Structure 1
């Protein structure tokens, strides 16, 4: 089964950030992996979860 695709607003909610902050993270290269699909920035749910898991792994 394919990953659910998330918009910036969905990722922002998951990370506790504003959509503008997530857009800035994308610009700086510090956001979860994403792609432009049909003219919209999209994130795979598994990439967002991996991003969160990596942050906790680095904190240990």
Structure 2
């Protein structure tokens, strides 16, 4: 991993993620497991049930609220 050194800074354009790479939807279904993992939580019966409820209420777009 590169370290920060004086005079070695890259231009800002090299550090900016292009918009098309920021979207999480790939056209595939979002599973409860996807939702739980997007929050950084462990897969447990409780977190999976939360994810199922969230998907039922908000649909697959719910994951967009968790990820950029």
Q: For the superposition of Structure 1 and Structure 2, which TM-score range results when normalised by the shorter chain?
A: 0.3 to 0.5
> Of Structure 1 and Structure 2, which has the larger fraction of its residues in strand?
1
Instruction: Give the number of the structure whose alpha-carbon radius of gyration is greater.
Output: 2
TM-score by length of 2: 0.35
TM-score by length of 1: 0.38
